[in-house]
Amino acid sequence: MNAEEALKTGFRPCKRCRPDLQLKTYEPLKAIIDDTMQIINSHYDQKMLMNELASMVGVSRFHLNRLFKDSTGDTPRIYLEKVRIKKAKELLLTTSLNSTEVGYQIGYQSISSFYNAFKRSTGLSPIQFQNQYVKSPTT
C-alpha cells in the first residue's frame, strides 16, 4: 500500500518520513541560506554586522559562514559585497549620482572601502566604469 492508498482508506501519513509533503530532497539548512540571502538583498544599504545577521537567522556567525559558503561558494560578507556592487553599477549607469553618493547610498560607511570593493569586482574605479559604459550625449 502506498501513501495515497493509505490516505484514502483513512490512515494518516507517516510522521517520520512524511510522504505527504512530496519533497524530492529534504534540506533543513536551505531555509537558513534563503533567509540570509533575503535579508542581505533587502537591507544591503544598511550597516550590516555578521553577528547580527547570524542572530537574525538563528545560528552562530561561524556556522552561518560555513553553511553559506558550502551552499553558494561565497561567505555572507562576499555575497553582500556582490549585491552592493551590482546595485552600484546600476546606479552609476542609470542615475546622475556621483560615485561618492552611490557609495553611501549602497551602504558603505567609507568611500575608500567602496572604491576598493568596486575595483576588486570590476577592475575599474567607479568613475572609469561610468565613463566607459555611459554614452555621452552627442552635440
Say whether pLDDT at 1 is over 80.
Answer: no
Of 12 and 117, the structure prediction assigns the larger pLDDT to 117
Q: What is the pLDDT of residue 135?
A: 65
Hey, what amino acid is at 14? C
Among 39, 18, 43, 40, which Cα is nearest to 28's? Answer: 18
| Mean pLDDT computed over 102-120 | 96
The predicted model scores a pTM of: 0.77
Residue 120 CA neighbour count, 13 Å, CB half: 11
Q: What is the pLDDT of residue 12?
A: 75
pLDDT per position as a tens digit, 23-37: 556 566 888 999 999
Say whether pLDDT at 124 is over 60.
Answer: yes
φ and ψ at residue 74, rounded to 5 degrees: -125, 155
Of 65 and 133, the structure prediction assigns the larger pLDDT to 65
pLDDT per position as a tens digit, 73-93: 999 999 999 999 999 999 999
Burial of 121 (C-beta count, 10 Å sphere; 0-12/13-18/19+)? middle
Angle between helices 50-57 and 30-43 (to 10 degrees): 130
